[in-house]
Amino acid sequence: MLGVPLHLNGSMLLLALLVTVTYAEFARRQLDLSQLGAYLIGVGFVVSLLGSVLLHELGHALTARRYGIGVRGITLELLGGYTEMDRDAPSPRVDLLVSLAGPAVSAVLGAAAVAATLALPDGTLTNQLAFQLAVSNVIVALFNLLPGLPLDGGRALRAAVWALTRDRHTGTEVAGWVGRAVAVGTVAATLVLTVNRLLAPLALPLMLLVAVTLWRGAGQSIRLARISRQFPLIDLRRLARPVLAVPTGTPLAEAQRRRAEGDRPD
């Protein structure tokens, strides 16, 4: 799409099934629909939701390309999607712009869906679809702005710390630790919503999976920062061995003999 390869992960089918069932039951109760009609509406909502996620990721991808960063592709999966780039942003400013492009797209889509909700008659199918899309996009925008890696807000925090300290690795490590705090907060919020019966039972395992994914992603970011910080300490010249040039067809034993003679002290 727009020159960006799109990949669909098999786990996305589980997300589609979960959202279809949950939304179909909601639509059946709210609009007094038949079972078949409710599930058709659920499928339509899933398609709209995945389209919103795709546009969110395209925001990242097109902004990255605008600043000369190659994009390997967009993958849609169980927890939404992600954009794979071939290198890091060259500056904190570019890192900030690329990270905020996705939430900005979701916010615009949410605002458009809110306007559609207000314009459509209450209690109608189109009104309910517009309302759910508005809620979904606003939630996606706000959740992704939480300041912890691997979320978009975490990348924005990394860019800010990078700009202040002039050290990308410090920015990554700080945003990674905040990401772990966000993961713990997600678990706590999920438990509170579940106890107060404000979270659908089918959504509980998905939210816990989100928290685990955030924790793992944050941990990977912290480890990557620590490893990358050591790269300047490695002297590649000491690791490299000089090349011994020999004529084509020279037997291996002869090449090894010449190499050994070359290593002997005079």
Q: What is the DSSP string of 71-136?
A: EEEEEEETTEEEEEESS--SSHHHHHHHHHHHHHHHHHHHHHHHHHHHHSPTTSHHHHHHHHHHHH
Q: What's the CA gap between 87 and 85, in Å, rounded? A: 6
Tell me how crowded residue 258 is: count the other CB atoms within 10 A of its CB: 14
Instruction: State the catalytic residues.
Output: 57
**Which residue bears the tokens 């849609």?**
76
Read off the pTM.
0.80
Q: What's the CA gap between 265 and 138, in Å, rounded? A: 72
Nearest partner of 146 among 119, 172, 185, judged by Cα: 185
pLDDT string in tens for the chain (266-residue length): 678 899 988 888 887 888 788 778 777 777 777 788 788 888 888 888 888 999 999 999 999 999 999 999 999 987 788 999 999 899 999 999 999 999 999 999 999 999 999 999 987 778 888 888 898 899 889 999 999 999 999 999 999 999 999 999 999 999 999 999 999 999 999 889 888 887 777 678 878 888 999 999 999 999 999 888 876 655 545 555 566 676 777 777 777 777 777 655 44
Q: What's the CA gap between 44 and 40, in Å, rounded? A: 6
